[in-house]
Structure 1
């Protein structure tokens, strides 16, 4: 199978970096992306500013691939998603050329001639990657290995506090009253002079509150209600100055200021049970019987989940709680760890019972919200080394993560009663990340 390519699923930051590392190792990548261009998921939140600085957003092998083209790595500042694409990801995809295929949705991955039950000769057979293009036509690619960097973007968590859509949430979404994306102040029409409800906590919710507060400043009459599942404590608005990613620490403080200034009405201990469509508006109710004023938009930012459906014929060993590779689950559990307290992960941690299958990037963290771009770049470096037979390099750790100084937490920190529990520090130093996406 050495003549076959390595198929990389997803042309996002980690998928493109994986391709660069594979090329550097003399392997042939084929990157398949369901969107029409590179980093299609990032493009959907292109207006959001990342809390990682430029040096933490560029992969080493990717930079080495780009340098002969005259590309210069950005060195300062915090880009938006759109900046990330324009100044790095799009040039990287262009440098990879025909090795990146767009409008190619993976609908299944299996072993040639072997379903999930068959042991005999399994590892000797190539993978078959089943694709469907934008016109609906299907094809199969054979691969020596598969790196799944498809992320979690298109699988947002629901408003329902029990992890499934609240009663009526699906209908409200179909009526365009519920959205799962951060608002954009440059496109205020949906929110200007109207009532918006934000459900969720963490960096994405902070960004939503900040964007909506800017809209409210420019458009009098805009109302913002923020529904949290827990009570306010010293940690509700993030790590602040204790966060070694300063831009991330600042997000929570800006959101807090919007509450302090009265721009945002904050509700705590609010566990959504239903979203009812009435007279063209969404009425959100909690498990304890509270009912919010009719909303023109409900912004749900409660985290993301991996799509495992197209891997159903492969043998996986995933943690039953996080849906992440079992070997790393204890290290990334947001009940225990912040981004910085997690050790770097590589090929030995990500390997599955299905030989030469690796889950990387946000996909590798399952439901855990503590992923950083730097983590993914280290993962794909290690996986490429392993596939090239350089096992020593695959096991070497070449990454030191910034420490948040605070903890992520759902679990007891998600209790409406408040601050109890024993994560990594005293309650005043805990970061609430109830299903939030902290992905960059």
Structure 2
């Protein structure tokens, strides 16, 4: 009788249509930063129909300037278009900053064969409200706000009813999504000077947060914060393992310490020890390729957040958990992860996935970040550097998130 099995688990992040993620194998190279979100557009209308719908929606809409990719070379260049005419519940936002997520790179290069060119990327958006519809009750002009991975959902399904709108089957992605409420027009993201979004998918940015460092929290931040809250990995004194020290991992370390937890960074790269402990405040650093270190840490952790997007073995990681411990996968390996039954059954351990976070989660996360002064470590760039930034991101050459100074690059029509 074999004790090995392959298990389907819900892994977060942005996967191509129909692609799932199986827990299992792989930890390739150093732990690169992960991408975000599992839900992708439902079947799309023809290109011709989308263009017709977009043209109708944009008649009388506000002029916008963004940078877009026109083909799978992924090269971005200036692109003029119009935002849709605002509805009663819409908020018009002048975009100040927009983070660059690994998902943006996948989309502009059509890695998942779902790009709707021209693609204006960006879903880690911070800006200021410049106008509100007559039915808007939560925001007013001058408010500092954020928009994350999605800008729409059905608002009637079981998930939406429970406040888990990030798991709605009708989710509308902020960029390269299908806007069901506007005839199936493609959505265009935050690599642009102005955005129009329903107030239901806009969050308030607390006073005192550095706006450039806040932008990545709208995706990377909520992706680690949400499962930590759901699985009780937010209790003082508990021991949290963070696998990978990239865009997601470094924020997970900050949240863990703010919760009062003991935090151990787990990485293949010994060169990240100083950064993890001295700069980010982790308590311990564990090299996953060192069998002696891994053996010594067996059964010591209450939970693990796995942020790695490259294939990697998870059985050694599960051995680090205490009985009934929980691993949450927030990375998106392209190959199935191998999960032997013996790695979880005897200790009653769990493996779960997480897909970004709900709007409610995102607001709570920002409030927590504001209280504790948490922000991402970023490299702020101008829009004309974005193609170089994408090349560097592909090589994992960033500490830890590129953020575009959109207003300082494009000004704003808002």
Name the TM-score, length of structure 1 as normaliser.
Answer: 0.29
Considering Cα pairs closer than 8 Å and 6+ residues apart, tell me whether 1 or 2 has the greater RCO. 2
Point out the structure with max Rg over C-alpha.
1
- The structure where helix makes up a greater share of residues is 1
Name the TM-score, length of structure 2 as normaliser.
Answer: 0.31
- The structure where strand makes up a greater share of residues is 2
